[in-house]
Structure 1
Amino acid sequence: MEESWWVANLKALESQPQRLEALTRMNTAIGKEAALPRQLIGRLLSAAELYDCANPAVDASTGKDPSVDVALELLGHCLDQLPLDTSDEQLPRLLGRGLGHPNPALRSLILASVLRELRRQLNAGQVRPLPNNELILHILDELRQPQTEASSLAINILSILLVQRLGDADVQAKLVQLLQQDEIVRCRAYELAVALAKSSAASLSAVEFILDAALSELDNDDVLLQASVMELLVPLAEQNHGLSYMERRRVFDVISGRVQRIEENPLDALLIPSIMKFFGKIAAVQPQKIIAGYPHMLACLFQQLQSEDETILPTAMDTLANLASTPQGKVLLHLNFNTAMEESFKKYGSYTKKLSAPLKERLLNSLDVVYAVETPPTKEINSILKTWYESFAGGAQANAIMELINTPFPDLQLAALGLLKSICKYNWGIVALKNTGGAVEFLLSRQKDLHKDVKYLKWEIMEMLAASAEFSPTETVRFAAYVNEGPYHIQADVNIATEGQS
C-alpha cells in the first residue's frame, strides 16, 4: 500500500462512524505485510488519531467500543515490525505517547515488547547503552499509575535499564517522587529498589535511600503494609551485600523484637505469620543467620505448629519447610532444636487425621520440601531425617501416608504419593513402605479409576522399589514387570470359555 493510503485511513479515524472500518482495513493490510518501511511504522506510532481509538470508552448500546480492541491489535502489529533498539534516540518519541496512554492494556503491550527486546539483548550478552534517560523516565511514570497490571513489566524493565543510569540526577529525582506517593506506589518503588540492590553493592548504595524508606514502614500502624514490605525485602538477603545492609540496619533485630514484645502491642500478633514467613524465607538462603541467631523466633514458630489454629498453621508449616530445606538448615535444627523438631513432626502425624483436606495437602507438600534431595544425603542428614520421619509416622512404617493415599481427593492423593516418593529416596523409607500392610499391593494394582498423575507417581515409586535390595528376587521380578509395562498399562480382562457357552 502507498503511504497516501495509510494517511487517508488515519484521517478517517477522526470520524466516529468510519473509525472501526478504517481500523479493520489497516489491521488487515499490516497483517499481510512482512515488513512496512520504518518511516511508515513511525508515522502510525506517532498518529494521535490511532491512540484516540485505543481509549477504553464505553459504547451506550454495546457496553464497549469495539474499535478499542482493533486499535490495540493494529498497534501491536506496529510494535512487532519496529526494531526496538534501546540505543535509538527516536525510540522514546515513538513509544512515549503509548507509555503515557490512559489504557493500561496498551501500556502493557508496549512494555511487554520492550522487555522482550531487553531479554534478547541480555541473552546475546550485552544490553545496549541508552542515548539518554527519556525512555527510563517514561517507564518510571508507569509506577505511579493507579492500575497495577503493567507495573510488574515496568519493574522488570527498570531492573535491567536503570543499572546504567542510577546516579543521574533526573532519575534520582523521579525515584524520590515515587516515595511521596500512596502506599501502593511506594511499595512498587521498594520492589524496584530490591531488584536493583540485589545486582551489586554499587547498585544497593545508589538506591539505599529507597531501602531506608522501606524499613521506616516497619514502624507504620498499617499491619498489611508492614507485611507487604517484609515480603518485598526477603530477596535482599539472598546476596551477601544485601544481608550485610540488613544487618547494619538491624532489620532482623527490629522485626524479631516485635515478637518478643508482643504483649506491649497486641495488634502485632496479626503480624506474626508475616514475620515467620520473612524469617523462614531468609533461612532458606541464610540458615546460619536465622536458626542460630534468633532462637526466640524458632520458639515462637514451634508454638504455632502445636497450636492447632488452622488460620496460622499453613504459614507455620511453610516456614518450617523453608528452615529445613537445605542441608545446613537440617543440621542446625537438629543441633539446636532437636526435641522441638521431633515434637513438631509428631504433631504433624496427628494433623494427618484431624485437619481439613486442603491443609493436609499443605502439610504433605511442606514435608516434601524437607525430604526432597537433589544430591545423596550425608550419613548425618540421613539419620536426622529418619528420626524426624519416625516421629511423624509413629515408627518405621508408612500407614499415615497410605491412609491419605486412599482418600477420595485426587490432590491429596498426589501430595501423599509425592511424599512417599521422596522418602523412598532413602533406604529407611523403602523399609518403612515394606513394613506397611497393603502398601506394595496398592502400588502394584492397576486400578482403572485412578487419576493419570496418580498412576504415573505409582510407577515412579515402583521404579525405585525395583532397584532396591530390600525385596526378594521374586518381588523384584514383579516390580520390574510393572515398570516395563509402563504407568498406564491396562490389564486385559480374561474371559474363560466353558463348554455349552455360545
Structure 2
Amino acid sequence: MDESWWVANLKALETKPQRLEALTKMNTVIGKETALPRQIIGRLLSAAELYDCANLAVGSPAPKDPAVDVALELLGHCLDQLPLDTTDDQLPRLLGPGLAHPNPALRSLVLASLLKELRRQLNAGQVNTLPNNELLFLILDELKQPATESSSLAINILSIVLVQRLADAGVQAKLVQLLQQDEIVRCRAYELGVALAKGSAASLSAVEFILDAALSELDNDDVLLQASVMEILVPLAEQNHGLSFMERRRVFDVISTRVQRIEENPLDALLIPSIMKFFGKIAAVQPQKIIAGYPHMLACLFQQLQSEDETILPTAMDTLANLASTPQGKVLLHLHFNTAVEESFKMYGSYTKKLSAPIKERLLNSLDVIYAAGETPPTKEINTILKAWYESFAGGAQANAIMDLINTPFPDLQLAALALLKTICKYAWGILALKNTGGAVEFLLSRQKDLHKDVKFLKWEIMEMLAVSAEFSATETVRFTAYVNEGPYHIQADVNIATEPQGNA
C-alpha cells in the first residue's frame, strides 16, 4: 500500500463510526508486512488520531470500545518494525506520544520494546549513548504514574541507561522530584537507586542522596512503609561496596537495636518479621556479617521458631533457610548456634504433627532449601552437620515424619514431603534413613493408580537414586532398576486367573 492509503485510513479515524473498520484494515496490512518503509511507520507513530483511538473511557459504565484493542495491536506492530536506534534524536518524538499516553497498556508496550532493545545492546557488550535527556525524562515520568505494572519496566530501562547521565544536573533534579512524591513513587525511586547503586561504587556515590532518603524512612511511623524499604534495600548488600555503604550508615545496627528495645515501642513488634526477613536475605549472600555479627538477631529468630505462632512461623522458617542456604552459613550456624538450631529442628519435628497443612508445607520447603546440595559435593564437615540436624528433626535415623506427611490427603503437602525426601536421598545417611523406615520402600515401589502425576514422577526420581545406591542388596537393586526402566507412569496390568468349574465326579 502506498502512503496515500495510510493517510486516508488515518483520516477515517477522526470519525468514530469509521474507526474500527479503518483500524482493522491497517492492522491486517501491517501484520502481513515484514518491513514497512520508515516513513510510514513514522507517520503512524506520530498520528494523534491513532493515539486517540487507544484512549480508555474514564469512569464510563459502558464496556471498553473494541477499537482500543485494535489500536494497541496496530501500535505494537509499528513498534516491532521501528528500528530502535537509541542514538536517533528522533526517537523521543516517535515514542513520546506512547510514553505519555493515559492508557497504561500502551505505555507498557513502548517500554517493553525499549527494554528489549537495550537488553540486546547489553548482551552485545555496548549500550549506545543517548543523544539527550528527552527520552530519559519521559521514562522517569512513568515512575510518577498511579499504580501501574509499567513502573518495573521503567526501572529496568533506567538501571541500564541512566548510568550514562547520573552526573547530569537535569537528571539529578528529576530524581529529587521523585523523592518529593507520595510513598509509592518514593519507593519506586528507592528501587531505582538500589538498582543503580549495585552496578559500581561510582554509581552508588552518585545516588547516595536516594539511598539516604530511603534510610530516613526507617524512622517513619508507617510500619508497612518501613517493611517495604527494608525489602528494597536487601539487594544493595549483595555487592561489597553496597554492604560497606550500609555499614557506614550503621543500617544493621539501627535495625537490630529496634529488636533489642522492643519493650520501649511495642508497635515495633509488628516489624519483627520484616526485620528477620531483611537479615535473613542478607545472610544468604553475606553470612559472616549477619551470623557472627548480630547474635541477638539470631536469638530473636530462634525464639520465634519455638513460638508455635502460625502468623510469624512462615517468615521465621524462611529466614532460617536463608541463613543456612550456603555452605558458609551452615558452618557458622553450627559453630555459633548449634544447640539452638538442633532445638529448632526438634520443634520442626513436632510441628509436622500439629500445625496447619500450609505451615507444614512451608516448613518442608524451608528444609528443602537447607538440604539442597549445590553444584559441588558437600564437604565431610557439612555432611556431618546436616545429618545431625536431620536426626534432630526426624527423632533419629529414619524418615517416619516425612512418610507420615506423604500419606496425607493434601496434594501440595504430599509433593513438598516427597521433594524433601528426594533431597535428603542425595546423602548416604538420607538413603539409610529411608531404608530404616518401615513401608517407605514399598510405597515408592507401589504403582497406585490414583496418585497425582507429579507424585508419580517424584517417586520415580527417588527410585532412580535408590537404584544406584550401594546401601541395598542385589535383589532390591534389580527391583528398583526394573521400576526405573518401566518409567514413572507405568500401569501394571491386572492379572485375572480364569478357572473352569469342576464337574461332578
Relative to the length of structure 2, the TM-score reads: 0.98
Partner of 2:428: 427
The whole-number CA distance in structure 1 between the counterparts of 2:380 and 2:34 is 63
Pairwise CA RMSD: 1.2
Does residue 252 of structure 2 align to residue 262 of structure 1?
no
CA 1:242–1:60 in structure 2 vs 1: closer, same or farther (change >3 Å)?
Answer: closer
CA deviation profile, 1:328-347 (whole Å, cap 9, x unmatched): 10011011111100100000
Partner of 1:451: 452
Does residue 349 of structure 2 align to residue 334 of structure 1?
no
The whole-number CA distance in structure 2 between the counterparts of 1:317 and 1:446 is 34
Q: Which amino acid aligns with 1:40?
A: I
The whole-number CA distance in structure 2 between the counterparts of 1:57 and 1:2 is 33
Partner of 1:297: 297
Q: Which runs of 5+ in 1 are unaligned?
A: none
- SS of the aligned residue for 1:51 comes to helix
The whole-number CA distance in structure 2 between the counterparts of 1:8 and 1:147 is 37
The whole-number CA distance in structure 1 between the counterparts of 2:20 and 2:457 is 52
Partner of 2:418: 417
**Residue 25 of structure 1, CA deviation:** 1.5
The whole-number CA distance in structure 2 between the counterparts of 1:422 and 1:458 is 12
Does residue 264 of structure 2 align to residue 249 of structure 1?
no
Partner of 2:219: 219
The answer (yes or no) to whether the contact 1:27–1:73 under 8 Å persists in 2 is yes
The whole-number CA distance in structure 1 between the counterparts of 2:280 and 2:243 is 15
The answer (yes or no) to whether the contact 1:281–1:319 under 8 Å persists in 2 is yes
The answer (yes or no) to whether the contact 1:58–1:65 under 8 Å persists in 2 is no
**Residue 90 of structure 1, CA deviation:** 0.8
**Residue 469 of structure 1, CA deviation:** 1.2
Aligned residue runs from structure 1 range 186-335, under 5 A: 186-335=186-335
- SS of the aligned residue for 1:307 comes to coil
CA 1:206–1:45 in structure 2 vs 1: closer, same or farther (change >3 Å)?
Answer: same
**Residue 307 of structure 1, CA deviation:** 0.4
- SS of the aligned residue for 1:314 comes to helix
The whole-number CA distance in structure 2 between the counterparts of 1:439 and 1:192 is 51
Q: Which amino acid aligns with 2:143?
A: L
- SS of the aligned residue for 2:443 comes to helix
Q: Which amino acid aligns with 1:334?
A: H
Aligned residue runs from structure 1 range 110-149, under 5 A: 110-149=110-149
Q: Which amino acid aligns with 2:188?
A: R
Partner of 2:406: 405
**Residue 500 of structure 1, CA deviation:** 4.5
CA 1:453–1:16 in structure 2 vs 1: closer, same or farther (change >3 Å)?
Answer: same
**Residue 59 of structure 1, CA deviation:** 9.8
The whole-number CA distance in structure 2 between the counterparts of 1:4 and 1:199 is 49
The whole-number CA distance in structure 1 between the counterparts of 2:81 and 2:238 is 39
Partner of 1:373: 373
Q: Which amino acid aligns with 1:425?
A: K
CA 1:61–1:145 in structure 2 vs 1: closer, same or farther (change >3 Å)?
Answer: closer
The whole-number CA distance in structure 1 between the counterparts of 2:356 and 2:160 is 44
The whole-number CA distance in structure 2 between the counterparts of 1:438 and 1:76 is 59
**Residue 190 of structure 1, CA deviation:** 0.3
The answer (yes or no) to whether the contact 1:352–1:400 under 8 Å persists in 2 is yes
CA deviation profile, 1:480-499 (whole Å, cap 9, x unmatched): 11111111111111122222
Q: Which amino acid aligns with 2:67?
A: S
Partner of 1:25: 25
Q: Which amino acid aligns with 1:35?
A: A
The whole-number CA distance in structure 2 between the counterparts of 1:143 and 1:60 is 26
CA deviation profile, 1:219-254 (whole Å, cap 9, x unmatched): 000000000000000000000000000000000000
Q: Which amino acid aligns with 2:410?
A: F
CA 1:60–1:128 in structure 2 vs 1: closer, same or farther (change >3 Å)?
Answer: closer
**Residue 459 of structure 1, CA deviation:** 0.9
- SS of the aligned residue for 1:437 comes to coil
The whole-number CA distance in structure 2 between the counterparts of 1:359 and 1:20 is 52
- SS of the aligned residue for 1:413 comes to helix
Partner of 1:484: 485
The whole-number CA distance in structure 1 between the counterparts of 2:432 and 2:285 is 32
**Residue 61 of structure 1, CA deviation:** 8.1
Partner of 2:473: 472
Range with bigger deviation, 57-66 or 81-90: 57-66
- SS of the aligned residue for 1:497 comes to coil
**Residue 147 of structure 1, CA deviation:** 2.8
The whole-number CA distance in structure 1 between the counterparts of 2:58 and 2:10 is 21
CA deviation profile, 1:30-62 (whole Å, cap 9, x unmatched): 112221110110011001111111110169684
Partner of 1:463: 464
The whole-number CA distance in structure 2 between the counterparts of 1:361 and 1:500 is 54
**Residue 388 of structure 1, CA deviation:** 0.6
Does residue 402 of structure 2 align to residue 385 of structure 1?
no
Q: Which amino acid aligns with 1:432?
A: A
**Residue 9 of structure 1, CA deviation:** 1.2
The answer (yes or no) to whether the contact 1:217–1:226 under 8 Å persists in 2 is yes
Partner of 1:163: 163
Give the number of equivalent residue pairs: 501
- SS of the aligned residue for 2:498 comes to coil
- SS of the aligned residue for 2:412 comes to helix
CA deviation profile, 1:317-359 (whole Å, cap 9, x unmatched): 0000000000010011011111100100000000001111111
Relative to the length of structure 1, the TM-score reads: 0.98
Q: Which amino acid aligns with 2:163?
A: V
Q: Which runs of 5+ in 2 are unaligned?
A: none
Range with bigger deviation, 52-61 or 163-172: 52-61
Range with bigger deviation, 235-244 or 120-129: 120-129
The whole-number CA distance in structure 1 between the counterparts of 2:285 and 2:209 is 25
**Residue 417 of structure 1, CA deviation:** 0.6
The whole-number CA distance in structure 2 between the counterparts of 1:424 and 1:437 is 16
The whole-number CA distance in structure 1 between the counterparts of 2:484 and 2:8 is 69
The answer (yes or no) to whether the contact 1:104–1:147 under 8 Å persists in 2 is no
Q: Which amino acid aligns with 2:306?
A: Q
Q: Which amino acid aligns with 1:165?
A: R
Partner of 2:185: 185
- SS of the aligned residue for 1:264 comes to coil
The whole-number CA distance in structure 2 between the counterparts of 1:244 and 1:58 is 48
Q: Which amino acid aligns with 2:91?
A: L
The whole-number CA distance in structure 1 between the counterparts of 2:270 and 2:279 is 16
The whole-number CA distance in structure 1 between the counterparts of 2:320 and 2:346 is 14
The answer (yes or no) to whether the contact 1:194–1:236 under 8 Å persists in 2 is yes
The whole-number CA distance in structure 2 between the counterparts of 1:434 and 1:64 is 62
The whole-number CA distance in structure 2 between the counterparts of 1:174 and 1:61 is 37
CA 1:204–1:58 in structure 2 vs 1: closer, same or farther (change >3 Å)?
Answer: closer
Partner of 1:440: 441
The whole-number CA distance in structure 1 between the counterparts of 2:14 and 2:377 is 69
- SS of the aligned residue for 2:263 comes to helix
